Structure 1
Amino acid sequence: MLRIFFYTTLFFSQIVFAKKIIFLGDSLTEGYGVAQEAAFPQLIQKKFKEDKLDWTVISSGSSGSTSASTLSRLKWVAKEKPDVVFILMGSNDGLRGLKIEETEKNLGQALEWAKQNKVNVILGQLHVPPNYGKDYFKNFSDIFPRLAKKYNIKLAPFLLDKVAGVPSLNQADAIHPNEKGHLIVADTIYKYLKKEL
């Protein structure tokens, strides 16, 4: 009886104390063009397990989504009571050349809601391809550190660091990482998370 109680207690304690991180993003998070288990959120889950860290990863990626959907989607995933929501939104805004002010406003509304509702968020730095012009590239990139400072939240490094612009790590569209690219993305994000979580 004592042994049964011990195992039951251990089982429930693992459930209670396991923490939850949700990646809220677009097709990069969804793993467009690769198998689900090869996308970076699932690879990060494997890394947590290998390191015996009690974190559950939930991927909430939606292809084609822009910053306009960030607030509504954040409200939805917040119902899961996550310990962290890692926001990777805005790439499609940049690829479509949408107004910088609109992207910043949309993300700001989501971060303001998170602040008011005590949702712990990490904002991921994003960039657009350099062929969009130096001014647009800089203005877009500057959105993220500015918002991180304004809302006093953590800013994660660019997830496509060492992947963007490398043909062997991307699919034919030169935008979405292939399986090799996702491995590097997972390493980049996981190294950051291990320091910050």
Structure 2
Amino acid sequence: MKLAHNVYLILVLLFSSVAVNAESDPSGKRTLMVLGDSISAAYGMKPEEGWVALLDKRLATQNISTVNASISGETTAGGLARLEALLAKYQPDWVIVELGGNDGLRGYPVNRMKANLAGIIEQSQSASADVLLIGMQIPPNYGKRYTRMFSEAYPALAEQYGITLVPTFLESVAVKPDAMQEDGIHPNASAQDQLLAVAWPEIQRMIQE
């Protein structure tokens, strides 16, 4: 009888342990991941000054944590190559994609850039993450045809995959010399609030859906 009693206790403890481990995170905290380049990696400033860090502070009040997976110099091909591991590690509920600027500055074929962005969107959606795409702009010195094809890639992808688009992320600050760093490409610390203000309505809409 003593042996049977011990076996019973072991079974009770085993099933109790399984039940506890099966419970979801009681905090209910969700995760938003930003996959970007130097614009989101706070290039030329302290990390806490960047727009993603400002977004993290704002989302903290909504029980949402932010992962900044942005790297200065990143291309769409680099982001796509890193994405699978990032999705597995962080399991984000939302992914903000801010890529393509470096592809454009290097004159990469738009079709290749578009295919990489499509792969990022598809992988994120397959991992049950909602996607927000941030449209980028390039200088006009690459020619009218290339510039047009580049700018049209973002709304076309947003329509194809039914995702949210921020169409003109840098436009409001790029025309203000006092909002840009000396290179004329990267917004400075004083412009980060404005970048967040441009993206915030669409971010808010996405996380509330």
Query: Which category of TM-score, normalised to the shorter sequence, fits these structures?
Result: 0.7 to 0.9
CA contact (8 A) 1:165 1:174 kept: no
CA distance, structure 2, for counterparts of residue 137 and residue 157 of structure 1: 14
**Is residue 2:201 matched to residue 1:183?**
no
- In the superposition, the TM-score normalised over structure 1's length comes to 0.85
CA distance, structure 1, for counterparts of residue 25 and residue 51 of structure 2: 24
Residues 174 and 186 of structure 1: CA distance in aligned 2, closer, same or farther (over 3 Å)? same
CA distance, structure 2, for counterparts of residue 47 and residue 117 of structure 1: 25
Residues 175 and 43 of structure 1: CA distance in aligned 2, closer, same or farther (over 3 Å)? same
The C-alpha deviation readout for 1:81-120, integer Å capped at 9, x for no partner, is 1110101111100111111111111112222223333332
Query: Percent same amino acid among aligned pairs?
Result: 32
Partner of 2:28: 17
Partner of 1:38: 49
Partner of 1:3: none
Partner of 1:125: 135
CA contact (8 A) 2:39 2:186 kept: yes
CA contact (8 A) 2:165 2:202 kept: no
CA contact (8 A) 2:130 2:206 kept: no
Residues 165 and 76 of structure 1: CA distance in aligned 2, closer, same or farther (over 3 Å)? farther
Structure-to-structure mapping, 1:38-187, within 5 angstroms: 38-49=49-60, 52-79=61-88, 80-187=90-197
Give secondary structure in 2 for the equivalent of 1:87: strand
- Pick the structure with greater CA Rg: 2
- In the superposition, the TM-score normalised over structure 2's length comes to 0.81
Aligned residue-pair number: 184
Q: Which runs of 5+ in 1 are unaligned?
A: 1-12
The Cα shift of 1:181 comes to 1.3
CA contact (8 A) 2:34 2:95 kept: yes
